[in-house]
Amino acid sequence: MVAPEALFVDGPNGRLFALLQRPPRGMPVRGAVLHVPAFAEEMNKTRRMTALMTKALSDQGWWVLRPDLSGSGDSAGEFSGTTWKGWIDDLECMDRWIADTSGSEPVIWATRAGCLLATALIERGAASRKLMFWQPVASGKLHLQQFLRLKVAGGLMQEGGGTVSTAALLKQLQGGQAIEIAGYELSPALALGLERAELRPPACGGQVACIEVSGADAPALSIPLQKAKEAWRSAGWSFQASVVHGPAFWQTQEIEEVPALLDATGQAFASLEAE
């Protein structure tokens, strides 16, 4: 197996770090993939699954680029200085880089809130028309709410309990004040950008494959994803959605692997390629 290359690219907001996984020598190249990571702690928890999927894809002949967005991982900048728009700028840069380097428009594979960024990237004019979404976040507002909740929950753990509310925290952000949550310094620009983001179908049309993971005995597509499916199809997108059984690996305390997701994703890539 070829080890991934660590590389630095000059991005619009500073130096961006990325891992590039090439297919094994002699393997016919099927195309390129640009990965868009999940938000904050979910990015850390999904690293292993991302690495496993990257290997599976590259073994099948795909180039896979995994960037760290500004202010995260090994890329330049502090988390406190990041903005939602800045992250879309970073992705635009990485999208161009992998397209130029590999010679083909990448499939954009996004995890969780990364799906919101991927959607914004296409809306902005990126040429890719093939999307792979893992457990997509449909509402940036809800995702922000759940992130703010960490601070409320933190108050529960203390003697006397905290009485901060997510509504009060949101007001602080709207008033221009950054908030520290679970070790992350959240800037208003980042928070409010996330808050406004929705999984809305870009006008250009294309193909998207979504996979959710559920631990329920009878796994079923979530209601938000069912709604998204209808909206995207109405807007002219080919939208395939499925669910596999497994743990919520983006939020479990222990890092989990979901083999069923790796298999289902491999199949979805074959379908995306075929059309």
Q: Which residues bind other proteins (CB under 8 A)?
A: 41, 146, 149-150, 152-154, 156-157, 161, 165-167, 182, 215-216, 222-223, 247-248, 251-254, 256
Nearer to other proteins, 41 or 198 (CB): 41
C-beta of 224: minimal distance to other proteins in Å?
A: 9
C-beta of 244: minimal distance to other proteins in Å?
A: 14
Q: How far is CA 182 from CA 27, 41, 71, 148, 185, in A?
A: 44, 9, 16, 9, 8
Nearer to other proteins, 29 or 153 (CB): 153
Nearer to other proteins, 3 or 156 (CB): 156
Tell which residue, 26, 31, 27, 47, has the closest CA to residue 98. 31
Question: Torsions phi, psi of 271, nearest 5?
Answer: -65, -45
Three-class DSSP labels, 32-95: EEEEECCCCHHHHHCHHHHHHHHHHHHHCCEEEEEECCCCCCCCCCCHHHCCHHHHHHHHHHHH
C-beta of 215: minimal distance to other proteins in Å?
A: 5
C-beta of 14: minimal distance to other proteins in Å?
A: 29
Nearer to other proteins, 127 or 255 (CB): 255
The Cα 208–Cα 97 span in angstroms is 22
Nearer to other proteins, 24 or 154 (CB): 154
The Cα 144–Cα 198 span in angstroms is 12
The Cα 249–Cα 258 span in angstroms is 8
C-beta of 147: minimal distance to other proteins in Å?
A: 8
Nearer to other proteins, 107 or 169 (CB): 169
Q: How far is CA 76 from CA 19, 51, 165, 228, in A?
A: 15, 22, 32, 34
Nearer to other proteins, 125 or 183 (CB): 183
C-beta of 213: minimal distance to other proteins in Å?
A: 11
Strands (E), the chain: 5-11, 14-21, 31-36, 62-67, 107-111, 130-134, 179-181, 184-186, 207-214, 238-245
- Rounded to the nearest angstrom, the gap between the alpha carbon of residue 126 and the centroid of all alpha carbons in its chain is 16
C-beta of 251: minimal distance to other proteins in Å?
A: 4
